[in-house]
Structures are given as structure tokens and as C-alpha cells.
């Protein structure tokens, strides 16, 4: 990942602190695959690319260690965690257990005054998909889902789901965009909003369930529950 590419991830004006900015940027870069699984990155070298000292890089990386995105390598730096198709299947299963019921609970509790903001977040996902801005897509996607989940009234559940979302590498995201399928996935968020605005909690739950399955199937290259081709031969 070049210095220019890394710096493009940083949007200081949108974040309350350099550390928060760096954490968000590194998280997005890891999830999108810009920072490669298995590769070791040093805080000083990343600090040069970000145009900051190594301190906020180390602080951000320690946050990501707790999220399971990187592993600390003494005297070397931080290695991006590799995620297998088995890991992805496990995380997806947990999300399917937790996220749809939480959305069902949240739907009748979301005030109408929040609809416009949520609808705007859904549109930001579509715009990012149209542009092929994968980092912004991931950021907008996370913002949308977590904004809904907060109305379920369980902060620990929201944090857990956020952690689970962060642990998945969105395999094939760039390829999905190149095939012209990313925008259709993005538009599913508007369909979810339609159900929420109609106060149809069951439909919202089912749509989120289907969306998670679609994302896992599309971005990993195989459907939920189907073994990865490499595993099928093993």
C-alpha cells in the first residue's frame, strides 16, 4: 500500500482526534484488503505514510489488536490477521443470530425524526458503491447498521456486532464492484429503510438476515454453509 493510498484514507476534518482518525482509517484499510492479511506493518513506517508520529499509530493498532484485526509482533510491528473461509462462516453465523433480532427490536423504537438521517446514510452507501470507493463504502455501511442497532438499547450487543463486522474480510469486494454487483447490494439498505419506516419489524429483521447472507455469499465467492472450494477438496 503506497503512502498516497494510505493518506487518502485519512479524513482529519471528520474525526475528533488523530488517533480516532488513524484507527478508523486502519480498520477500513484492513477490512477492505488494502492492508494485506499476514503482512507485518511497523508503526514508524505507517506514521510516515500518515504524516504523523508513531504514537497514535501504536495506540490505534492496540485498539485493533483488541478487535482481533491485527496481532502484535514484539520488536517488529503488527501483523494483519488472516481470516479463513471457516472464520468467515463462524462470524456470519453469529451475526445472523444477533443482528436481525436486534433490528427487529429497534424498528418500533426508532423515532421518525431519525428517518431522514438513516435514509441519508443508506444513500451514502449507494453513492460510495457507484464510485467504487470501497473504503467509504465500508465506513458508510458500518455507520448505517450501527446507527440502527443503537435503538435496540443494548450497548454491549452493538459493540459485539461491531467487533464481529470488523473481524470479517470482505473478500472479493473490488471484484464485486468490477462485476457491477456492488450497487445492487448497496441498494438493499434502502429496502431495509422502507421496512423500518413502515414499522414492519418482522420484515426489517428478515431483510437484514437476507442481506447478511447475500453479503457473505457474494463477497466470499460461495453461499452460506457451502465449503470453500479449497476445503471441499480437503
Give me 90's grid cell. Answer: 463462524
Residue pair 203/130 in contact by the 8 Å Cβ criterion: no
The model's pLDDT over 186-202, given as tens digits with 9 standing for 90+, comes to 999 999 999 999 999 99
Cα 168 from Cα 38, distance rounded (Å) = 14
User: Is the pLDDT assigned to residue 124 strictly greater than 90?
Assistant: yes
- CA–CA separation, 182 and 54 (whole Å): 35
Tell me the mean pLDDT in the region 213-228: 53
Domain with CATH 1.20.120.530 in the chain: 85-220
CATH number of 3-80: 1.10.10.10
pTM of the model: 0.71
Q: What is the pLDDT of residue 171?
A: 54
CA distance 71 to 75: 12
What would the pLDDT profile of 19-66 be if each residue is shown by its tens digit? 888 888 888 778 767 788 889 999 999 988 888 899 999 999 998 998
The set of residues, in sequence order, having a beta carbon less than 8 Å from that of 188 and lying 6+ positions away, is 207, 210, 211, 214
At residue 84 the predicted structure's pLDDT band, cuts being 50, 70 and 90, is confident
Where in the chain are all domains bearing CATH 1.10.10.10? 3-80
Q: What are phi and psi of 110, to 5 degrees?
A: -75, 120
CATH match of 85-220 with 3.40.50.300: no
Percent share of the chain, pLDDT over 90: 47
Query: How far, in Å, CA of 231 to CA of 234, rounded?
Result: 5
pLDDT (average), residues 205-217: 86
Q: CB of 188 within 8 A of CB of 207?
A: yes
Amino acid at each position: 500500500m503506497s503512502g498516497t493510498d494510505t493518506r487518502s484514507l485519512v479524513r482529519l476534518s471528520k474525526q475528533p482526534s488523530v488517533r480516532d482518525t488513524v484507527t478508523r482509517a486502519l480498520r477500513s484499510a484492513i477490512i477492505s484488503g488494502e492492508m494485506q492479511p499476514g503482512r507485518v506493518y511497523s508503526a514508524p513506517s505507517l506514521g510516515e505514510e500518515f504524516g504523523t508520529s508513531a504514537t497514535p499509530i501504536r495506540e490505534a493498532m492496540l485498539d485493533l489488536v483488541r478487535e482481533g484485526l491485527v496481532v502484535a509482533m514484539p520488536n517488529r510491528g503488527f501483523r494483519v490477521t488472516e481470516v479463513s473461509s471457516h472464520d468467515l462462516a463462524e462470524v456470519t453465523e453469529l451475526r445472523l443470530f444477533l443482528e436481525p433480532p436486534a433490528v427487529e427490536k429497534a424498528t418500533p423504537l426508532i423515532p421518525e425524526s431519525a428517518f431522514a438521517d438513516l435514509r441519508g446514510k443508506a444513500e451514502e452507501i449507494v453513492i460510495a458503491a457507484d464510485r467504487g470507493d470501497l473504503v467509504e463504502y465500508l465506513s458508510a455501511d458500518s455507520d448505517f447498521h450501527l446507527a440502527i442497532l443503537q435503538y435496540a438499547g443494548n450497548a454491549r450487543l452493538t459493540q459485539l456486532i461491531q467487533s464481529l463486522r470488523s473481524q470479517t474480510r470482505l473478500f472479493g469486494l473490488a471484484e464485486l464492484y468490477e462485476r457491477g454487483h456492488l450497487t445492487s447490494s448497496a441498494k438493499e439498505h434502502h429496502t431495509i429503510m422502507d421496512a423500518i419506516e413502515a414499522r414492519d419489524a418482522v420484515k426489517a429483521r428478515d431483510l437484514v438476515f437476507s442481506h447478511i447472507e447475500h453479503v457473505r455469499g457474494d463477497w466470499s465467492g460461495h453461499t452460506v454453509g457451502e465449503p470453500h472450494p479449497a476445503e471441499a477438496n480437503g
